[in-house]
Amino acid sequence: MNWMYILPEIIIAASALAIIIADLISRKPVIITTIAIVGIAASLIAACTSTVTFEPVFDGMLFIDGWSRLLKVLLLVVAGSVVIASTDYHARLKHSWAEFHALVLFSLLGMMLMPSAGNLISAFIAIEITSISFFVMVGMLKTPLSSEASLKMMLTGGIAAAVMLYGMAFIFGSTGSTSLAEIALSSQPDFSSGLLLGALLLLAGLLFEAGAVPFHMWLPDAYEGAPTPVTMYLSAGSKLAGIAVIARVFSMGLNNPGGLGADWGMAVAVISALTMTLGNVLALQQSNIKRLLAYSGIVHTGYMLIAVATIGLGGQVSGDEKLFFYMASFALAEIAVFTAVIVITRQIGSDRIEDLAGLARRSPLLFAIMSIGIFSLMGLPLTAGFMAKLFIFTSAVDNGLLWLMIIAVLNTVISAYYYLRIIRVMWLGKPSDGSALSLPKAPGLISIFSALGILLLGIAPYLLLKLAENIIFIP
């Protein structure tokens, strides 16, 4: 009976294997893409209709609740968007088309397990399934830049995994268990110094997955060197899964507000401030759109860590609906922007911001979609990004983090400079080539729906916020 709780994951794993087998029989790209889309759609239906339980399954290895269910649905939507948007990228990945789709699904399998982890062992396995898949995908172009990015990501990922395991060893030595439920019993006010050290080392390893400072060094190179659909997947998928597993492990296993929760909550708050500030400073200097979006993603990691910090300081034992709203709004913005970037860079053959000049005249629809996504990332009113930041900042003040909210607001003002620079280039810049840019049907549908979602959540945010709250905190 336990197997039914992970039916969405089983469907994804079976679809990945089906792609490998189909590639041996027929190398037609349409078959590969169809299998991937059908598998994701079937898994999405299973996730939306699955049973939610607050009891651990598989001897406590997984915990199926409202938080994990919401994250599964969001990650499936992101993966489906990546697969559909990448149909315009076939010319560059045609020799590894099946491998790309299979790895998208295998990494999705790991990411879907991450927010469900009820044990340190299952969390580590899920993280490694995801990380190894991305190591390969980043290097798929097989260019010097792509290979270098993959190598850097693999080396830093290996170090992060070692640090994470070291922290898990300290936690196991201090509590005698790797189960989050049993670890929680030891995170009371009289916790040991070994448990604190283990928690900090574990946090350091997990922050690599989210791309937070000072574990962000691999991100810009990986974003620039990877195929643009992989960059989109890293930003809108892997980052969210990393934040989700941090929220799961620390809120469920180390959540006592008067004990360890106060310590790691404040540590995360400090890291959040550093992540936002450094990410913005480095983003100001970028001339490559993918590198700029990499540093922009680092800044948004800092914003999401504000919500994680409030979970620790507030002693919550599950995910937070405000954090999920921010994740959903960020994912929509990244899908809109990166889908447009995939289409534009393929046609102009450049990733430089200056080469986006005159996009408003060359393709008004692409310009509108990309502008909506950028405005949401910037946090402009009437977009989902504005409401997401408002909810996060309010939560920070409610939990005694006024100083962090002030830093976040200042960073939002700073980020407007480089976001508006992109808009200025697209609107006022003179294009070197005045030919029109086309928007293919499949990527066009994804980008239009994501832009409409941004506007809808900006106007009626409580539609998603109340839904998330009702699902996460089912009585």
pLDDT 10s digits, 410-428: 999 999 999 999 999 888 8
Structure tokens at 432: 């070197």
pLDDT at 319: 54
Q: What is the mean pLDDT of residues 52-59?
A: 71
Using 50, 70 and 90 to split pLDDT, how confident is the model at 256? low
pLDDT beyond 60 at 102: yes
Amino acid in the structure at residue 444? G
| pLDDT score of 432 more than 60 | yes
CA distances from 198 to 67, 120, 169, 173, 314 (A): 25, 12, 7, 9, 21
* Spatial CA neighbour of 408 closest among 282, 265, 301: 301
Indicate if the pLDDT at residue 474 is higher than 60.
no
Q: Between β-strands 56-57 and 62-63, what pairing exists: parallel, antiparallel or unpaired?
A: antiparallel
**Could you report the per-residue pLDDT of 176-224, keeping only the tens digit for each?**
888 888 887 765 655 667 788 888 889 888 888 888 888 877 888 888 8
Rounded alpha-carbon distances, angstroms, from residue 250 to 81, 109, 154, 309, 469: 30, 22, 25, 10, 19
Q: How far apart are CA 457 and CA 322, in angstroms?
A: 13
Of the candidate ranges 78-82, 125-129, 342-346, 380-384, the one whose mean pLDDT is the lowest: 342-346
Closest alpha carbon to 305 in 201, 425, 445, 211 = 211
Nearest partner of 390 among 407, 409, 372, judged by Cα: 409
* Whole-Å CA distances, 249 to 23, 179, 244, 254, 442: 38, 10, 9, 7, 37
Q: What is the mean pLDDT of residues 241-262?
A: 78
| Least reliable range by pLDDT among 119-133, 195-209, 372-386 | 195-209
Tokens of 464: 């998603």
Residue pLDDT, tens place only, 159-175? 889 999 999 998 888 88
Statement: residue 250 has pLDDT above 90: no
Q: What is the reported pLDDT for 14?
A: 94
Is residue 456 over pLDDT 80? yes
Where in the chain are the domains?
2-472
Q: Tell me if 253 sits within 8 A of 173, measured CB to CB.
A: no
Name the one residue in this structure whose structure tokens are 């190398």.
27
Does residue 84 have a pLDDT over 70?
yes
Cβ atoms of 343 and 359 within 8 Å: the answer is: no
